Structure 1
Amino acid sequence: MSIWEALAVFAAGIGAGTINTIVGSGTLFTFPVLLAIGLPPVTANVSNTIGLVTGNISGAVGYRRELRGQGARAVRLGLTALVGGLAGAVLLLALPSKAFNAIVPALIGIALVLVILQPRLAKALARRRERNGTEATAHPDGGPALLVGLLLASAYGGYFGAAQGVLYLSLMGLLLREDLQRINALKNILAVVVNGVAALVFVFAAHVDWTAALLIAAGSTLGGQIGAKVGRRLSPTALRGVIVAVGVVAIVQMVLR
């Protein structure tokens, strides 16, 4: 790897760490760069996942204020994400990618529709609970529907991960009665869990380009702190707009790839 290639990977890591903390989809920064410098796709994906773990941790630390009062919820949802992430990592090593990648743009598109409609859908659900007299008994952690959705989204995250954060934000925004910033803090914790367990699998069972992984780790750690400062200042409407913009880019890039 030349010095210019190393700088490009490091810069992509900063961009990935920043956007992962705000929304997700940082892989859209790093994965194409790793392919451009000549890494095979699976090696690029594996090295990228390992490198982004420290950025996820950095972003989660940056959002620690919004996690107050959500410790028990984070543990419950995190355990679900752990199972899904492990399954996705195993799938990456065991199965061809073509069939799975074919449905990814559709999954992201559905997630974007949920993000856009989330305020209306959440109000409609609240009105329905109120009419049925179930508002007081609504599950504070989203219930089985959220657990199943997070399990599937985490399996996708362990497998590839681009726009994983968009999926998380759309699901939790619809099914949790929390503001978007507190949901974003939870999203960062789930990303740590999924990328962490996938990274452990890859360290022992896949070929890793450690130079690329370490450069991404250094860049994404810096980017995680930048993302926490920027993301916290965004209004719910602005944050939702960023989510949609990143998701659209993800769909376009994956369709054209």
Structure 2
Amino acid sequence: MDFSTLILLLSAGFAAGTVNALAGGGTIFTFSALIAAGLPPITANATSAISVLPGQIASTLAYRSELQAVARRLLPFIIASALGGAAGGVLLLATDPSVFRVLVPWLIFFATVLFALSPKIAGVGERLATGRAAGSGPGASATALQGAVAIYGGYFGAGMGIMMLATLSLTEGRDFHRLNAAKNVLACVMQGLAVMVFIISGAVDWPSVFVVASASIAGGWASVRAGKLIPQQVIRWGVIVTGLALSGWYALG
């Protein structure tokens, strides 16, 4: 790994850690940087997934008390997330590299659109919550929807947290902390199972993992100061513009 690549991956990891802590969507940075560093798209996706997992676990542990209240109720979602995440990981590895390369700009574009629409998606969740009492547990349709989200999360991952906002509102109502705690633990489950598939298959570039993961953790810490200095709307538009530019770049490349 040369010096310029090291700086690129450190910068992307730091940006991803900061953005994930403040607004979500940081995987767009790590995935794109790993491709720019020369990794094949499937290896870049697997490496990005394992690089951001420590930050997700840390975020989940911060909600220990909230998780104690929701863990049993979320068991159907947890099972669906585990199965879906593993299935998504297997599906990624079964995808022909040339096909996945064609999908890359569309996957980035889809994740960017999800990120841009996240306030409206949250609004849908709010409306769903009014029709179902918080704490009542997920129904079959909500569990199936969570399983579909998990397959996407294991396959690509960027934007999966936004997709879970609406489904989790069916069980957690409007309580932000419960909603965020549930989202974090399910993200850890689905990506954790996908990462296990990637590790077993040997699809991970470990030197890149250590660089990106360490920078991502540092970015998460820095987000506390960034959140006070930079308006969240500026961060949101930065992610949206970057995502659209990258999707266009890979579509034309």
1:211 equivalent in alignment to 2:207: yes
SS of structure 2 residue aligned to 1:207? coil
| Selected match of 1:222 from 208, 218, 224 | 218
Output the CA distance in 2 between the equivalents of 1:107 and 1:29. 12
1:122 equivalent in alignment to 2:149: no
- Corresponding letter in the other structure for 2:77: L
| Selected match of 1:186 from 182, 199, 217 | 182
1:147 aligned partner: 143
User: Under a length normalisation based on structure 2, what TM-score does the superposition of the two structures give?
Assistant: 0.77
How big is each residue's C-alpha offset from its partner over 1:205-240, in whole Å with a ceiling of 9 and x where there is no partner?
A: 13321110111221223334455x58999xxxx989
SS of structure 1 residue aligned to 2:137? coil
Superposition CA RMSD, Å:
3.5
Q: Percent identity, please.
A: 30
How big is each residue's C-alpha offset from its partner over 1:42-72, in whole Å with a ceiling of 9 and x where there is no partner?
A: 1211111122211211222234454352222
Output the CA distance in 2 between the equivalents of 1:70 and 1:240. 31
**Deviation of the 1:111 alpha carbon:** 7.6
Alpha carbons of structure 1 residues 175 and 65: separation in structure 2 relative to 1, 3 Å:
closer
Aligned residues: 244
User: Under a length normalisation based on structure 1, what TM-score does the superposition of the two structures give?
Assistant: 0.76
**Deviation of the 1:86 alpha carbon:** 0.4
1:38 aligned partner: 38
SS of structure 1 residue aligned to 2:136? coil
Q: What is the 5 A alignment of 1:161-176?
A: 161-173=157-169, 176=172
Alpha carbons of structure 1 residues 139 and 217: separation in structure 2 relative to 1, 3 Å:
same
SS of structure 1 residue aligned to 2:24? coil
Q: What is the 5 A alignment of 1:1-257?
A: 1-96=1-96, 97=100, 104=107, 105=109, 109=113, 113=117, 115-116=119-120, 118-119=122-123, 122-123=126-127, 126=130, 129=131, 140-173=136-169, 176-226=172-222, 229=224, 246=239, 250=243, 253-254=246-247, 256-257=249-250
Alpha carbons of structure 1 residues 122 and 92: separation in structure 2 relative to 1, 3 Å:
same
How big is each residue's C-alpha offset from its partner over 1:150-192, in whole Å with a ceiling of 9 and x where there is no partner?
A: 1111111111111111112243246641323431222111221
Contact between 2:172 and 2:178, CA under 8 Å: does it hold in 1?
A: no
SS of structure 2 residue aligned to 1:24? coil
Output the CA distance in 1 between the equivalents of 2:208 and 2:112. 27
SS of structure 1 residue aligned to 2:158? coil
Output the CA distance in 2 between the equivalents of 1:160 and 1:51. 13
Q: Which runs of 5+ in 2 are unaligned?
A: none
